[in-house]
Structure 1
């Protein structure tokens, strides 16, 4: 069964030239947690997603997969 992709964190990190380790450090999270977000194994909560958007200087919508 294919994992449903809900976020684009990995793509936006690549687009902004940042790495998961950097994001983990900025958020005070375990790098393994960020890795799971990047592979869509788990999803960050909305508050964390907003923090990620601010750190990456992107609109929060850019971090989500468009459903329509």
Structure 2
């Protein structure tokens, strides 16, 4: 399965931890871990909240769709 989000990368760029994100969103750290490894995905609403918290555009949290298409070839 191709990666869908860049959450782990953006957290590193922002010098934030998954633990910080879990505490800030009130989510279980295991949930954040699954998001960071692309095992599961947050809802669109949660992506918007994460983008707000990290002060980034929501598009920065997603792998561009054309990259996913190239990976499948």
The residue that corresponds to 1:16 in the other structure is 14
Gaps of 5+ in 2: 67-73
The residue that corresponds to 1:35 in the other structure is 33
Deviation of 1:67 (Å): 1.1
TM-score, normalised to structure 2, is 0.88
CA distance in 1, matches of 2:30, 2:2: 19
TM-score, normalised to structure 1, is 0.94
What is the total number of aligned residue pairs between the two structures? Answer: 66
Higher-helix-fraction structure: 2
Give the root-mean-square deviation of aligned CA atoms.
0.6
Gaps of 5+ in 1: none
Deviation of 1:26 (Å): 0.5
